[in-house]
Every structure is written in structure tokens, then in C-alpha cells.
Chain A
């Protein structure tokens, strides 16, 4: 795309296009762009969110033990991740540690959530962008090529050509689409075995779970897990085939959704042997997690320390509909280790909504999403979550700490072992650190992480059965709510980093701020003018779609945005104006601005 940059100072014809709402995601997302059709690229992008609910406001003054029930309702697809994270934060505040059995049950529930959620999002929502109907509509020549291209792993998944895979992905009529829906159901059954109900769990409590551990419980889970493992042995090669095909069929496709490698993972699956929920020991037990926390910057792992991760979170305003809290109360001056806590840290945030007109332009206010950033060497980095899976695998691979028999992190890859299943032998998959942080690699990582979660679940079942066989069936540790306390929880929601920060005074919630993945990804231009990850990955995405402005679908933009697994019950939309909302504008300044 170098040639494009040279032309940037010249006059460009930009067409305003927007997609609002972006569908096939959870929540409300709008993407507003200016497209340079002549040079086939997106020149400018704004993401907007159209919903405000006010959790941190209405949670004030409530009983802290209600926090996980309430925060689960933040998200309708990964609510349980919130409930879990809230219990982590409460456990720190109450100074308790659940029995090992409870941790294995939660890990099994959360593993099922990853298996279910990545599965339904990938193949029932996102891959519709790669299905026959869509590809024929947007890139007929690619469809022609797909018909002639043999699928390299046909023997593993049963589809002869790439076109056959695409047809199987058609919504509702496609065979693989329907199979995935079915899989999304029995994986949710696995979830319900451990956490009671999907998506807002009934059996999670601070201190443990209400689930009754029995032989039946784990057997019912295990048989479904084995079915899923068998399914994954087909799904991983199937996705590799289709993603590799896109690189090959559309040279330069690695640019779609590409941005600087700047991705974070807050870690998942606590190990009851090391995790005591004490802040003072958080660096240690964070590194004991079965998905390693970490920040990957330009391909280097810059930290695996949860304390470091915690202290450098900053919540910036800029283009969002809120007033600043500079003059509001500071709740936490120092963390339990004595480190100073910034005013812009979630522990000290006060949310003050100011509804106003939407002004979508540089310097305007246009979204209900704030701008979370991570401070590193003086820079407020707009970290993305890699759609969850990419950051998790990347941090885990580079850290090289996880080694549990079913998973081995090597320092530059992650090896995943799935045992023998009904009709398929044991299989080892190896996820390699990719060259780019782009749409295809976010999507590929998602498939590999499904296998990762399944492999972990085999391990957790063994551990849980070990406890059961030893007669250690207690699942809950009693507690008292303290007069005053603080707590924080770190977890990985399915689509990425999740933190909950809690302050208790007089046994009531004095402050509570959850930071789910999407505020990171969908964040808007901050006070320093730095765009959020959707914005900057869509900006300068090349256009490969064969349609012109009249019937433009924006498929490459959709693929860029959906690769993050947007989930905005907290708000964002996209709208496409086919013909009618088009507005031609001549803006000689654009290229310069974004050079």
C-alpha cells in the first residue's frame, strides 16, 4: 500500500459510509467511515455506541454480595465471565479463598463458556462474512477461485473444496452452520452443569459455588467434552484452510484489520494451589493461571505481572459523553502494597454521564464508550484484546509457563493435545506466534483457543475427580462482609481482558467499575486524539470488495471489526448507506492527518 501513501497529499475523493448497527454481534455498534474508493482504502473511521445503562451508578450503596448477580447482566453472551470476575474481586475484599473443588468447578464452567461462545460467534456470526452467499455478493472472482481450490485438509473435515466449506457456512441452510448451532447447545449444557444457567449463572457465589459435586456431574460433562474434542479435530483444520485461502486468493489480505501489535491478556483459570486472592501475592498467583496474563507490544512480552497490569490501567475521556471526575473523591490512594493509585484508575473513577448530541468528527463527542488505556513508559497505549484468543495465546506462548500435560507453552508457540475420541485418534495442534495482529489471525487464534479450552477442561475434570475421590467435596468458604475493603478481579472474558474494581465502605459498595474487553476495543479517540483499536484497524484497511460505492457492502471493514468479536451491550453501531446516504466530499487534508 506504499503507493497510496505517496498520493495522500494529493486531492482525494472520500465517500462517507456508515454501518449502524453492525449486526451479528452482541450489542450496539456503529461504524462511520470515509472511504477512498479510487485508492481502495478506508481513510477515516469512528466507532460509536448508542447505549448507556449506568451500572457503576446504580451499584453504589448496594450490598457488595449482590455485585456478581448484577454485573453478570452487563453482557448477554459472557455474563458469567463478569460474575466470575466479580467473585474474584469480592474474594479479595472479603479475604477468603474458595475450596479447591469450587475452583475446578468454576474453571470447568468458564472453559465451557469459551468453548460455546467462541464456537457460536465464530461459525454462526462471524464466518457468515466468509460464507458462499457473502463471498459471491462481494467478491465473485474469489468464489470462482474457491470452487477450483482443493481444501488441503479435506481428509480431516470432509469438505473437498474451499467453496464446499463456504457453502456449509451459509446461515441456517449450511450444514456446518447448523452443526455449530447444535454444538453451541451441548457446550451450554456443559456450562449449565457447572454454573446452573447460561448466561447469567445461578450457582456462583463469592467463596465458591452451590453446585453439588457428584460422579454424575463430572461424567455428564466429560462425555460432552469428548464430543467437542472430536468436533475440534475437524474445526481447526477447516478454519486453517479457509483463512490460508484468503491470504492466497487476495494478496495483501493481511492488511485487513491490521494494527500495531499491542495486545493485552489479563489471565484466566486460577490454580487453587497457588491462588489465595491476596493482593500482596497477586504477581505470583497471576503467573500461576492456566492462561498467562501479559501485555505483548511489537511482538515482545513486556509484563506478566498482574500488579503491574493493574496499576497502569488509565481511563481517559475525550470523545465520550461523560464529564471528568478530576474533582471527585479519590477512593484509593495506595494499593495494599503501598504503590500510589492514579486518579484515572478504575478504583478512583466516578462516572458522570452527560447525554448530548452526537457529533461524529475529530474532536466531537460521539460515543457512550470511554477510552481505557494502558500506561507504558509514559505512553497511553490503546491496547486491544485481540478478540480475546489472540492475546491469550500470544501472552501464554511467549511467557512459556503453562505446562499441564494437555497444554505446553514453548516460548514461541502453544502446543495443544487432544486425546483419542470416538472416531479420531489423539491429535496435537500447535499455534504459532503470527506475523501480524490482523483480522485473519484474530480469527484463527479463536479456533485454536477453542481447542485450548477443551484441552484445559480435560485437565480440570481430572483435578476435580481427584478431589471427589479423595472425599474433599466442600464447595464454599463462609465469610463476613468487612466494614471497609478494596478488591480487584482479573479474568478473561471470552473476547478479552476483564477487570472489576470494588471499594467497600460501611459494608456497602462505595465504588464499582467493571472494565470488559469491548471498551478497550471500541474505545474512541481519547484526550490525546489517539483512536481506539476498531478505529485504527479499520482506518487504512485496504478494500478488496469488488463492488463499487453503489452496492458496497463494506465486507472488508466488517471483517476487520468482527475479528475483535465486538460485544457491546455497552454500545457501538455500523450503518451502510447504499447509494442514498452517500455524500461525496473532497478533502485534501485527510491523508496528511493520518500519515
Chain B
């Protein structure tokens, strides 16, 4: 009758791999807001993951410049080790958009570390070329990394783009995982940590393939619109709209894009259920979307699609949903100038490079 394992251990099983490394590149064109954001997460928190508070997880080693103990080469050595295949397996997280380094004759837009051979900085695209073929999974944190975001706005001088523009929308990691995009500007703290946890489970053999939508976002987080999760939607349905900021009513006429944007923030709040966007009086500017920011500007104007739908009252449900889908399709596409190649097509005309 002797038990081979104590009864409490029966449901637990060790992860397939004991350690996972996480190379977090903040060197894209970004603001580091996503690194800062994850320190706000509590479900799970960074400590929960790093100190092994959650069952079944492999040991996690995080190399993130905002949080690292080491500096300089002591820190960059992990990048080089990952490149040499000495950090296995590793998850690559990119923060910030990828500038196009091919549109100019010399110099760099964004770089991290120095090439010992040339003494020149190593650019972000070069790091991606070195590391993405070896990564177990490639994750975009925040809208810059996922789709280009603010720094890839019309008229930008760097030709910035998102991960899928650079690696291709069909990219698969060595484990067969597509790019995983967790957009948001910045990323909602728990949205990122929750996705990250899922991926760790997947890499450890404890979860099936992560479910992603067409824009490579986790479906359980981005499957609903802002509007569907907004507690002001009741006013919308009654056609009762705010005409000034500071009102508790639906703010669609003040510029909220909620009806056509995929995001759970109004429902989840920003952190600990507090804050958010339209639910607390902030117009939704579509910051999780491939079309952000260009397709939503000027932010403070009433969205053209919403104009039609806010004029309809109840009863036209089907028609309204159809209209929304039309606009939703448009804003779920990136503008045309985010691409590779030696041409800068953002509208900016450089005189010096």
C-alpha cells in the first residue's frame, strides 16, 4: 500500500525543462513603458514568476535592461550566449518598434551593445536576425513592437515597423510558435504577464498551442471590443451621449473609438481593477490596434464609423454590427508604409541620408 509519491504531489508534475531564459530587448524604438508596466502586474507579478511562486513553472531567468543587476558587457553576455546557442531554451521579447536600417548609407537608428569586431553598435534588426532563429518563442510587448505604433507614424524618419512586418506574418519559431503579440500602449500589465505565463507553461509542455487571432494577439484577451466591455455602453444603447469631458456618459462623440477596437481594458481596469480608458472618462484611441495611431487621428474627433452607429438607436443591431465589422477590419490593418526594403515611404523626405 506504500505510496510512491506523497498524496499532495499526485496532481503536480515537473516541467519538461528545468530552466527557461528570457531575453528582453528594450532597444527598439520605444519608451520602455512596457518594462515599467510589467512591474505593476499582480496576476501574476514579476516576483511570482521569478521566485517560483506558481506551480509547474520552470526556473525563469530574466535579462531585461531596466531591471538587471549587471551592466554593460556583464549584461550583454547573455545576448551573445543566446546567439551561440548556450542559453537553451530562451524566449525573446521585443519592446519598441524596429527601425529600417536599410534606408540610409551609414550610422544607426537603434542599437544595443557594441560589436567587438567593428567597435560600432549592433543594431536591433541585426539582433533580430541573430536571435529569432534560435528563440523558442518571439513575443512583442506593446504596440510599437507588435505593429510599429507611435514611432511608425506617418511622416516618421526611421521607417519603423512591427515584428511581423520584419519577420513576416507567417514566421514560426523553432518550436513552431507564431509571433505572439501583446499590444497596448503601454501593454496592460496583467495582460502581458498572463500571456507570458501561458507561454512558459507551453514551453514547459504544460499547455497546448497558444490561441491567437489574425493580428497574432491572444484570443482570450483581445476577442472582445472595448465597447463590449465598457460600463458606459448602457448610455450608448439609450443614445445618451456626453458633450463634455468629465461626464459619466458614453464619450463616443468626444472621440472614443471603443466600438471598433479589440481590447479588454475597460473591463479589466488598468491595474487592480482601477483606471482604464472610456470607463473612467478617457477616449479610446485604439492603442492595441495595427492601425494605431494613424487610423485614429485626430484622436479627439468623433470617429467616422461611430457617427453612423451612434445615430442608430436600438433595433438596428445587425446593421450596426455589420458597419462595425467594416471599420474594425480597416483599423486592424497597418498603414502601408511599415515595411522592409531600402525605400522610406512614410512621407518624410530626408535630405541628409
A and B pair up: yes
Near B by CB (< 8 A), chain A positions 375-392 give: none
B33 touches A23 (CB 8 A): no
Q: Contact check: which of A24, A66, A576 meets B297 at CB < 8 Å?
A: A66
B29 to chain A, nearest CB (A): 5
Stretch in B215-223, B245-253, B307-315 with 4+ CB within 8 Å of A: B245-253
Query: What total of chain A residues lie within 8 Å of the partner, measured CB to CB?
Result: 97
Stretch in A70-78, A150-158, A280-288 with 4+ CB within 8 Å of B: A70-78
A171 touches B69 (CB 8 A): yes
A476 touches B245 (CB 8 A): yes
A199 touches B281 (CB 8 A): no
B248 cross-chain contacts in A, Cβ below 8 A: 212
Per-residue contact bits, chain B 43-82, to A (CB 8 Å; 1 contact, 0 not)? 0011100110000000000000111111111111000000
Near A by CB (< 8 A), chain B positions 240-283 give: 244-248, 251, 254, 265, 269-272, 274-277, 280-283
A75 touches B298 (CB 8 A): no
Given the known interface contacts A210-B283, A323-B352, the answer about A74 and B31 at a Cβ–Cβ threshold of 8 Å is: yes
B73 touches A26 (CB 8 A): no
B275 touches A60 (CB 8 A): no
B299 touches A22 (CB 8 A): no
A52 touches B275 (CB 8 A): no
A485 to chain B, nearest CB (A): 17
A188 touches B271 (CB 8 A): yes
In this complex, what residue of B is CB-closest to A353?
A: B157
B113 cross-chain contacts in A, Cβ below 8 A: 20-21, 573, 575
A25 cross-chain contacts in B, Cβ below 8 A: 66
Q: Contact check: which of A57, A76, A189, A473 meets B156 at CB < 8 Å?
A: A57
A92 to chain B, nearest CB (A): 18
B159 to chain A, nearest CB (A): 10
Q: CA A70 – CA B36 in complex, angstroms?
A: 18
Flag whether A352 is at the interface (Cβ < 8 A): yes
Given the known interface contacts A22-B71, A133-B69, the answer about A211 and B271 at a Cβ–Cβ threshold of 8 Å is: no
Q: Contact check: which of A20, A65, A476 meets B298 at CB < 8 Å?
A: A65
Q: Contact check: which of B31, B65, B300 meets A205 at CB < 8 Å?
A: B300
B74 cross-chain contacts in A, Cβ below 8 A: 553, 576, 578
Most buried by A among B46, B72, B186, B348: B72
In this complex, what residue of B is CB-closest to A31?
A: B72
B71 touches A210 (CB 8 A): no
In this complex, what residue of A is CB-closest to B298?
A: A63
Flag whether B30 is at the interface (Cβ < 8 A): yes
Flag whether A53 is at the interface (Cβ < 8 A): yes
Q: CA A425 – CA B112 in complex, angstroms?
A: 49
Flag whether A69 is at the interface (Cβ < 8 A): yes
A26 touches B36 (CB 8 A): yes
Per-residue contact bits, chain B 331-353, to A (CB 8 Å; 1 contact, 0 not)? 00000000000000010101111
B73 touches A577 (CB 8 A): yes
B37 cross-chain contacts in A, Cβ below 8 A: 76, 198-199
Flag whether B293 is at the interface (Cβ < 8 A): yes
Q: CA A173 – CA B33 in complex, angstroms?
A: 24
In this complex, what residue of A is CB-closest to B249?
A: A212
Stretch in B83-91, B114-122, B126-134, B164-172 with 4+ CB within 8 Å of A: B114-122
Per-residue contact bits, chain A 431-475, to B (CB 8 Å; 1 contact, 0 not)? 000000000000000000000000000000000000000000111
A202 to chain B, nearest CB (A): 3
Per-residue contact bits, chain B 18-45, to A (CB 8 Å; 1 contact, 0 not)? 0000000011011111111101101001
Flag whether B3 is at the interface (Cβ < 8 A): no
Q: CA A207 – CA B246 in complex, angstroms?
A: 11
Given the known interface contacts A50-B111, A199-B36, the answer about A192 and B274 at a Cβ–Cβ threshold of 8 Å is: yes
A181 cross-chain contacts in B, Cβ below 8 A: 39, 45-47
Q: CA A355 – CA B101 in complex, angstroms?
A: 10
Given the known interface contacts A21-B113, A200-B185, A202-B277, the answer about A577 and B51 at a Cβ–Cβ threshold of 8 Å is: no
Flag whether B153 is at the interface (Cβ < 8 A): yes
A196 touches B276 (CB 8 A): yes
Q: CA A558 – CA B251 in complex, angstroms?
A: 48
B265 cross-chain contacts in A, Cβ below 8 A: 197
**Mind listing 29 A-B residue pairs with CB under 8 Å?**
A18-B114, A21-B75, A23-B70, A23-B71, A24-B66, A70-B293, A76-B186, A77-B32, A120-B39, A124-B67, A181-B46, A188-B271, A196-B276, A197-B277, A198-B271, A199-B31, A199-B36, A199-B37, A202-B276, A202-B281, A203-B280, A207-B245, A208-B245, A212-B247, A323-B352, A355-B104, A573-B113, A575-B72, A578-B73
Q: A52-B157, A198-B40, A356-B106 are in contact. List 16 more A-B contacts (CB 8 A).
A: A23-B65, A23-B69, A23-B75, A28-B26, A28-B110, A51-B111, A54-B156, A61-B155, A62-B298, A73-B33, A186-B272, A192-B276, A202-B281, A209-B245, A210-B246, A211-B246
**What residues make up the interface of A, taking CB atoms closer than 8 Å to B?**
18-28, 30, 50-54, 57-58, 60-63, 65-66, 69-70, 73-77, 79, 102, 120, 124-125, 128, 133-134, 171-173, 178, 181, 184-186, 188-189, 191-193, 195-203, 205, 207-213, 220, 321, 323, 352-358, 473-476, 478, 553-554, 558, 569, 573-578, 580-581
